Amino acid sequence: MKTRCKFAAMISASLLVIGAGLIVSQKVSAAGEGKITGTIKLDGTPPHQKPIDMSKEPSCQAKHAGHPITTETVVSANGALQYVVVYLSEGLSGAAANAVPSEQPEFNQTGCQYVPHVIALDVGQSFKVVNSDQTSHNIHPQPKPGAGNQEWNKSQPPGTPPFVVKWNSEEVAVPVKCNIHPWMHGYMAVVKGPYAVSGENGSFTIDGVPPGSYTVSAWQELYGTQTQKITVAAGKPTTADFTFKAK
Amino acid sequence: MAKFFAVTIILIAVASAVPIVMHTWEAPADISTHGALIDEQMSETMLEAGISFLAAQIILAIFIWQFSNPGPDARIKTFPGGAKGLVIAALVLVGAEVMALGIFGTKAWAAQYFTPPAADAMAVQVQAGQFAFYFRYPGLDGRFGPIHPDLINEGSQNFYGLDPDHDQDSKDDIVAAEMAIPVNKEIHLLMHSKDVGHSFYVPELRVQQDFVPGLDVSLHFTATKVGKYEIVCTQLCGLGHYNMKAYLEVMSQADFDDWLKKEAAMQ
Amino acid sequence: MHDMSAHAAQHHAPPTSFIRKHVFSLDHKVIGKQYYGLALIAVFAGMVLSWLMRIHLAWGAAPIPGLELLSKNGAPAGVITPEYYLQLMTMHATIMVFFVLTTAPFAAFGNFFLPIQVGAEDMPFPHFNMMSFWVTFTAFLVLMASFFVPDGPTLGGWTQYAPLSAVGKVAGPGQGTGVILWAASIAIFCVGQLLGSLNFITTTLDLRVKGMSLMRLPLSAWGWFITSCMGLTAFAVLMPACILLILDHVAGTSFFVPSNLVLNDQLQPHSGGSTLLWQHLFWFFGHPEVYIAIVPGMGIVSHVLITSMRRPMLSHRVLIYSMGALAVLSYMVYGHHMFVSGMNPVSSLAFSFPTLMITIPSTIIVLIWIGSLYGSKLRITAASLFALGFVSMFVSGGVSGFFLAQPSIDIMLHATYFVVGHFHMVMGVAAMFGIFSGTYFWFPKMTGRMMNETLGKIHFWLSFVGTYCIFMPFHYLGMAGNVRRYSAFVDDYTMRLIPVHKFITVAAIATGCAQFIFLYNLIHSRFKGKPAPDNPWEATSLEWSTPTTPPPHNNFGDKLPVVYHDPYQYGVKSSTGDYVMQASPEQVATPHEEK
């Protein structure tokens, strides 16, 4: 009777170990994962980007050559659209969806602007809020009430150290504003699973996508969300281009 | 101890008066047409308050010096004239003084608040919000477009909630973060608050007026000297109150016209 | 004059249990001491807050070690954030105005000495009296609780102008729960003051002992009586105002919030309220409040000065009428806080004239003090030094009122440090000097022990010179246009003023440290001081005629005193020396009497 119990315990323990190993190996098997690349374009004339007059904050104005422009639609000469968040809105399995990247991106307040203007984050991913200016900032993200994230705001006098925070629920996207400088505006997109934000040339790459069928979403602050259904194969890139229509 | 106290009071009183007599810390020089009356009223008051202050402190000190720790034979004496004399003195001297100040001061106040702006005064609207001022010029049509509070979006810099696509009057409105005005031209400043109480204070212009949320008030003034001055908020409006300011640029008419063109291009 | 039912109510047996004796006591003397203790805790708390503010203003980037433990968000790495500065400022002002300047000179000393000075056994409504203290104490706890809510206390300043105070969290940190706690605390405080004022008025009118006509009341009793009349009307307006403010937060009403306000890009769900309404309600209380803080001090200081000068004031009656005139006028001048508020400019003028008029009774009071000093036999004690210091401070704070009373000059000085200097001098420091004077004077009667006079004088010198060093420069800053309630100075024209701020900060810390001498003296003398005689200052009023020191539970033992004289028979020939006590039947050869 006693030995039997022991045997059963050993069996279940080894099963547990194997199971855990399988889960872990699924996470780290980079070779078997695909990626999604693409370019985001804007079709039509972008809205006028009004220059920002920072004359009331001379230390910030000094960091810019002329008047910096609003960053709500940043379009390059060939129509490529920057600051678009691309993420997998459907199709991710539990493990891949719940993995939290360990790197800590930085959300910087510099020259009285948020750099980057749009930051994408995984649920539970820590990020650092930095004040590089010679003035106080009061960063104030305003998540939708009831969506699971708490609204907060925090002052950072010049010279105070960065602080680290994270978001607990998915939300695309949390608007962020500075309570001291009304023109300062940005977004934090909180998603589950891999994500990317389009760069200056409108291109993006989402790495580490397990093979499978997905709905890819692209979100832009003025033009909203577009989706595409794609299938990602192991080890090779899949293309998903998006084109937003100017209003 | 009492004598030392008396000397201390006199020293403090004199030391307090020194920076005022020496003009160590003074208000910046006046650049307005109405400010001279205020300044005159200020120095008049300073003179009267200063004399009252020094006289009271010094007499207090002298009496403390003289009447503390008297000998055993000293007898209680009464101030010549007694209470009646003092009451009459207070009524006549102080009464006359404050009445004079009050009546004279009415002139300075009336000059700014009871005279309407001239018909050709230039209208500029200022909107105060947490924590910046924004200024609106009506453009060529001379009319300000309507404000739609629900359209206010600071991220895209629509600070006033204008809708130029639908409102004809808003099309040529110019919104700027600094206030430029032509020199020697009367300005009719329309004051609007977007959120909480704020105030518009330019020491050089000798104006200070609160913004009243829900109630638009107006001011008028003429700046007489070209230069760059600060507009600061003096009504506690939240955490960024200390940093709520804008610049006032007083410029020649020609420079102002150029400035307005440049701003119009930036809209 | 004698109302039997009131007499029956004030009569109660001495308690036996510790709790009924020291905690939930009905004895006006214990309640007075409880108020004093509360004010003492509050004043040191308020002082520490002012130090933090001063350090931040002078050395803005300097971390204050340990402060991050008090508020992680308010002072990351010990550096005070803009909102935390405003929160400290609001709490400093609220604590000082309500829990020190209203509590100590009026509620503490008044409770202890008013019944004794009129010759009563206790207040007519002892239960109300007990309640008034515990309600006030609760108000203090509610206010302090706001330090521990997530956003911290409110940052709206002690004036809590709407709509900043009325739209909720969206207006800034502390504007949600912080404001609700603030308004609740003040509304509760008002209840305490109303109960207290009711008791004070009834005591003065109904419980005077045989022979004590109104004109025979000492000036301190007159100070408390006039103050309680103001308290009854002023706090009765503030309380509903605070309740309406709370309703704007929790019930969706819009008493103080107009329509179409946009905060944080969000259109606020309010309409139809008036922001000026709050200012009118607040200042209708707020200006009398200034006199609620100072008139008891005037009474106490007159009382102490007379005893020290060994002569009555030139005119008892004129002083009383002048204090009364201050009280009445204080309701007609409140609009001078609102000259640039956007109310009708005609109202500004209408409020300006009574404000200038109030100079007249103030001047009469000061002239009577100084004129009475002439030909007196002044005894220098810690109490009389502080009383004379009060006169000096009141003059300094008073003359700056000339400026602020005139709307045209107020355009330049409104909301600058000139105002800060003015009200700290006339309402803050002067009232504090009144409290100190009263403490050194009455401590022997309250505790049965003497305070150390030498330490008292050292405390006076440091405080007197120190407060002038702190508050005089504020006036200069204001004249140069330095705006108050700024957590940092970023305007170009304020840069040259920063050395002045540094000077003020050093002076404030030094003067604040000197107050620990007082605290030591107070606590040490309470337990180790020399035993006090019944009448150490050779004074005349009834509190010095009690059979024991401190007075017994019912103040006068078996027999109530009978009053034979006006309160201040000094400088007369008598068997006791140069004075005759009010309760002494001795004939006075040439009595001081009011014609």
User: Is A18 a residue whose pLDDT tops 70?
Assistant: no
Range of the domain at C359: 26-260+275-580
User: Is A28 a residue whose pLDDT tops 50?
Assistant: no
Domain with A236 in it: what CATH number?
2.60.40.420
* Mutant choice from A56, A160, A184 vs C, greatest count of C C-beta within 10 A: A160
In the prediction, which pLDDT does C151 show? 87
* Cβ C158 vs Cβ C130: under 8 Å: no
% residues pLDDT > 70 (chain A)? 87
User: Is C195 a residue whose pLDDT tops 90?
Assistant: yes
Compute the mean pLDDT over every residue in chain A, rounded to the nearest whole number. 85
pLDDT class of A17 with cuts at 50, 70, 90: low
Closest CA to C141 of C38, C53, C224: C38
Which positions 15-54 of B are in contact with C (Cβ < 8 Å)? Answer: 16, 19-20, 24-28, 37-38, 41-42, 45-46, 48-50, 52-53
**Residue of chain C whose Cα is closest to the Cα of B13:** C396
Average pLDDT over residues B91-114: 86
Q: How far apart are CA C500 and CA B191, in angstroms?
A: 34
- Do the Cβ atoms of A138 and C82 come within 8 Å? yes
**Residue of chain A whose Cα is closest to the Cα of C174:** A153
Closest CA to C66 of C80, C58, C78: C78
* Cβ C109 vs Cβ C295: under 8 Å: no
CA atoms A146, A147, A148, A150: torsion sign = negative
User: Is A25 a residue whose pLDDT tops 60?
Assistant: no
C577 — contact with chain B (CB < 8 Å)? no
In the prediction, which pLDDT does C239 show? 97
- The alpha carbon of residue A210 is apart from the nearest alpha carbon of chain C, in Å, by 40
In the prediction, which pLDDT does A145 show? 87
The residues pairing with A153 across neighbouring beta strands, listed in sequence order, are: none
Residues of A in contact with C152 (CB under 8 A): none
Residues of A in contact with C80 (CB under 8 A): 157
In the prediction, which pLDDT does C10 show? 61
**Half-sphere exposure for C550 (CA within 13 Å, toward CB):** 17
Residues of B in contact with C159 (CB under 8 A): 236
- The alpha carbon of residue A133 is apart from the nearest alpha carbon of chain B, in Å, by 14
In the prediction, which pLDDT does C166 show? 95
* Mutant choice from C411, C490, C574 vs B, greatest count of B C-beta within 10 A: C411
Summarize pLDDT for B28-87 with one digit per residue, the tens.
999 999 999 999 999 999 999 999 999 999 999 999 999 987 777 778 888 888 889 999
Residues A47-70: b if buried by 16+ CB within 10 A, e if exposed = eebbbbbbbbbeebbebeeeebbb
The C-alpha torsion from C256 through C259 and C262 to C266, rounded to 10°, is 100
pLDDT class of A5 with cuts at 50, 70, 90: low
B207 — contact with chain C (CB < 8 Å)? yes
User: Is B248 a residue whose pLDDT tops 50?
Assistant: yes
User: Is A77 a residue whose pLDDT tops 50?
Assistant: yes
In the prediction, which pLDDT does A1 show? 45
ipTM given for this complex: 0.95
User: Is A10 a residue whose pLDDT tops 70?
Assistant: no
Q: How far apart are CA A227 and CA A90, in angstroms?
A: 10
**Residue of chain C whose Cα is closest to the Cα of A58:** C490
Between B24 and C435, the more confident residue is C435
**Mind listing the domains of chain B with CATH numbers?**
2-68+81-113 (no CATH), 122-266 (2.60.40.420)
User: Is C161 a residue whose pLDDT tops 70?
Assistant: yes
Tell me the three-class secondary structure of C277-299, residue by residue. HHHHHHHHHHHHHHHHHHHHHHH
- The alpha carbon of residue C48 is apart from the nearest alpha carbon of chain B, in Å, by 21
Which positions 97-136 of B are in contact with C (Cβ < 8 Å)? Answer: 98-99, 101-102, 105-106, 108-109, 112-114, 129-130
The C-alpha torsion from B153 through B154 and B159 to B163, rounded to 10°, is -30
Average pLDDT over residues C572-576: 84
Summarize pLDDT for C505-551 with one digit per residue, the tens.
999 999 999 999 999 999 999 999 999 999 999 999 999 999 999 99
Summarize pLDDT for A182-236 with one digit per residue, the tens.
999 999 999 998 999 999 999 999 988 888 899 999 999 989 999 999 999 888 8
* Cβ C468 vs Cβ B12: under 8 Å: yes
Which positions 163-192 of B are in contact with C (Cβ < 8 Å)? Answer: none
In the prediction, which pLDDT does A24 show? 45
Summarize pLDDT for A150-179 with one digit per residue, the tens.
888 888 988 888 999 999 999 988 999 998
In a domain, C12, yes or no: no
A49 — contact with chain B (CB < 8 Å)? no
User: Is A13 a residue whose pLDDT tops 70?
Assistant: no
Place of tokens 């002002």: C93
In the prediction, which pLDDT does B104 show? 83
CA atoms C82, C84, C85, C91: torsion sign = positive
**Residue of chain A whose Cα is closest to the Cα of B133:** A56
In the prediction, which pLDDT does C4 show? 45
CA atoms B88, B90, B95, B101: torsion sign = positive
- The alpha carbon of residue A137 is apart from the nearest alpha carbon of chain C, in Å, by 9
Q: How far apart are CA C530 and CA C452, in angstroms?
A: 8
User: Is B205 a residue whose pLDDT tops 50?
Assistant: yes
Total domains in chain A come to 1
Name which of A62-76, B197-211, C333-347, C571-585 the model is least confident about: A62-76
- Do the Cβ atoms of B155 and A51 come within 8 Å? no
Rounded to two decimals, the pTM is 0.92
Q: How far apart are CA C571 and CA C484, in angstroms?
A: 49
* Distance set, CA C402 to CA C35, C83, C111, C409, C474 (Å): 34, 33, 34, 10, 16
pLDDT class of A31 with cuts at 50, 70, 90: low
- Do the Cβ atoms of B131 and A51 come within 8 Å? no
Place of tokens 């609220």: C94
In the prediction, which pLDDT does A27 show? 45
Residues of B in contact with C472 (CB under 8 A): 12, 16
- Give me the amino acid identity at C351: F
- Do the Cβ atoms of A140 and C264 come within 8 Å? yes
* Mutant choice from A48, A52, A55 vs B, greatest count of B C-beta within 10 A: A55
* Mutant choice from C55, C72, C83, C87 vs A, greatest count of A C-beta within 10 A: C83
Between B241 and B156, the more confident residue is B241
* Mutant choice from C67, C265, C486, C492 vs A, greatest count of A C-beta within 10 A: C265
What six digits make up the tokens of B93? 């001297």
Q: How far apart are CA C557 and CA C555, in angstroms?
A: 6
Taking one residue from A and the other from C, the number of pairs with CB-CB distance under 8 angstroms is 40
Range of the domain at A195: 34-245
Which positions 123-162 of A are in contact with C (Cβ < 8 Å)? Answer: 135-136, 138, 140, 142, 153-161
Average pLDDT over residues B177-188: 96
Of B130, B157, B246, Cβ closest to residue A183: B157
**Residue of chain A whose Cα is closest to the Cα of B262:** A51
In a domain, A193, yes or no: yes
Total domains in chain C come to 1
- Do the Cβ atoms of C373 and B105 come within 8 Å? no
In the prediction, which pLDDT does C18 show? 87
Domain with C533 in it: what CATH number?
1.20.210.10
In the prediction, which pLDDT does B227 show? 95
* Cβ C42 vs Cβ C99: under 8 Å: yes
Residue C250 exposed, middle or buried by CB count within 10 Å (0-12, 13-18, 19+)? exposed
Q: How far apart are the first and last CA of chain C?
A: 22
CA atoms B109, B114, B115, B117: torsion sign = positive
- Do the Cβ atoms of B131 and A179 come within 8 Å? yes
Of A56, A57, A177, Cβ closest to residue B155: A177
In a domain, A41, yes or no: yes
In a domain, A115, yes or no: yes
In the prediction, which pLDDT does C54 show? 96
* Mutant choice from A45, A48, A50, A53 vs B, greatest count of B C-beta within 10 A: A53
* Cβ C33 vs Cβ C108: under 8 Å: yes
In a domain, C283, yes or no: yes
Which positions 188-247 of A are in contact with B (Cβ < 8 Å)? Answer: none
Q: How far apart are CA C282 and CA C295, in angstroms?
A: 20
Q: How far apart are CA C444 and CA C442, in angstroms?
A: 5
Average pLDDT over residues B254-260: 95
In a domain, C8, yes or no: no
**Residue of chain C whose Cα is closest to the Cα of A184:** C264
- The alpha carbon of residue B154 is apart from the nearest alpha carbon of chain A, in Å, by 6
Summarize pLDDT for C198-249 with one digit per residue, the tens.
999 999 999 999 999 999 999 999 999 999 999 999 999 999 999 999 999 9
**Residue of chain B whose Cα is closest to the Cα of C371:** B79
Name which of B64-68, B98-102, C50-54, C257-261 the model is least confident about: B98-102
Residues C3-20: b if buried by 16+ CB within 10 A, e if exposed = eeebeebbeeeebeeeee
* Cβ C369 vs Cβ C305: under 8 Å: yes
In the prediction, which pLDDT does A29 show? 44
pLDDT class of C9 with cuts at 50, 70, 90: low
The chains found to touch B (3+ Cβ pairs under 8 angstroms) are A, C
Of A154, A156, A158, Cβ closest to residue C61: A158
In the prediction, which pLDDT does A22 show? 47
